[in-house]
A and B are shown apart, each in its own frame.
Chain A
């Protein structure tokens, strides 16, 4: 196993990006429903 810090940074950054994309997805769907 390597250094765990880059792994955590990558993992947290990815979860943050995914969360941002999902929230955008939700916003677009709500606008389309109106």
Chain B
């Protein structure tokens, strides 16, 4: 129970800390929007953590053939998609205020779109297969490849293609844009926010499994 209260307190602190500390940018034009980084970045990292958890549970399923791991892998992927969509929405608001429009087909935005397609196909695969063994086996293997795609789309593609997002090489002649300054104040909100978002994902993942388990117990009993 203590860690659930800790998540409550930490995310409440993030809401307040994002307000009391100055926006993490030296840029003068519309700096307020930079406060969204305290939510956007943790959501993106939690997306990777969720798809990583999907990989972990898939490998556990393949080694034990226990369906509870298959279920938890599917929940991880579902939550990964939710956090990915939230990161994309917060990123779009950020983009509107810094790059001029909500969607620019920047390499980062394109890679997030591709990643969502990869995991949409994961659920299409699960829905298409009727046999529970075949569904669990194939989706576990797909989930492993899905995580390889996650690494490529999140960490590699946006870093090798020129784009506007921080971390991307800049197109020839373009300015470096706004630099986010990671001061101690920024870190005191951003790091706890990232850890608490991952904690929240783990909690919801376990809760979804417990609900399914309780449903099963009720139907069996």
Q: Is there an interface contact between A25 and B207, defined as CB atoms closer than 8 Å?
A: yes
Residues of B contacting A31 in the complex (Cβ-Cβ under 8 angstroms):
214, 217-218
With A32-B214, A32-B217 in contact, is A25–B15 under 8 Å at CB? Answer: no
In the bound assembly, the distance between CA atoms of A34 and B119 in angstroms comes to 37
B 184-213 contacts with A by CB, 8 A: 203-204, 207, 210-211, 213
Residue from the list B11, B16, B23 in contact with A7, Cβ < 8 A: B16
In the bound assembly, the distance between CA atoms of A32 and B218 in angstroms comes to 9
A 1-34 contacts with B by CB, 8 A: 1-4, 6-7, 10-11, 14-15, 18, 21-22, 24-25, 28, 31-32
Give the total number of A-B pairs whose CB atoms are below 8 A apart. 50
In the bound assembly, the distance between CA atoms of A25 and B81 in angstroms comes to 23
Q: Is there an interface contact between B218 and A18, defined as CB atoms closer than 8 Å?
A: no
Q: Is there an interface contact between A2 and B15, defined as CB atoms closer than 8 Å?
A: no
Residues of B contacting A6 in the complex (Cβ-Cβ under 8 angstroms):
19
In the bound assembly, the distance between CA atoms of A2 and B33 in angstroms comes to 10
Smallest beta-carbon distance A24→chain B, Å = 6
Smallest beta-carbon distance B221→chain A, Å = 8
Residues of A contacting B217 in the complex (Cβ-Cβ under 8 angstroms):
31-32
Interface size class, chain B:
20 to 34
Q: Is there an interface contact between A2 and B23, defined as CB atoms closer than 8 Å?
A: yes
Residue from the list A10, A18, A28 in contact with B7, Cβ < 8 A: A18
Minimum CB distance partner of B221 in chain A: A34
Smallest beta-carbon distance A32→chain B, Å = 6
Is residue B141 within 8 Å, beta carbon to beta carbon, of the partner chain?
Answer: no
In the bound assembly, the distance between CA atoms of A4 and B25 in angstroms comes to 19
Q: Is there an interface contact between A14 and B35, defined as CB atoms closer than 8 Å?
A: no
Q: Is there an interface contact between B12 and A2, defined as CB atoms closer than 8 Å?
A: no
Q: Is there an interface contact between B8 and A1, defined as CB atoms closer than 8 Å?
A: no
Residues of A contacting B35 in the complex (Cβ-Cβ under 8 angstroms):
2
Further contacts, 4 of them, CB under 8 A, given A6-B19, A14-B12, A25-B4 = A11-B12, A21-B207, A24-B207, A28-B210
Residues of B within 8 A of A (CB): 4, 7-8, 11-12, 15-16, 18-20, 23, 32, 35, 203-204, 207, 210-211, 213-214, 217-218
What are 17 A-B residue pairs whose CB atoms fall within 8 Å in the complex?
A1-B20, A2-B32, A2-B35, A6-B19, A7-B15, A7-B16, A10-B15, A11-B12, A15-B8, A15-B12, A21-B203, A24-B211, A25-B210, A28-B207, A28-B210, A31-B217, A32-B210
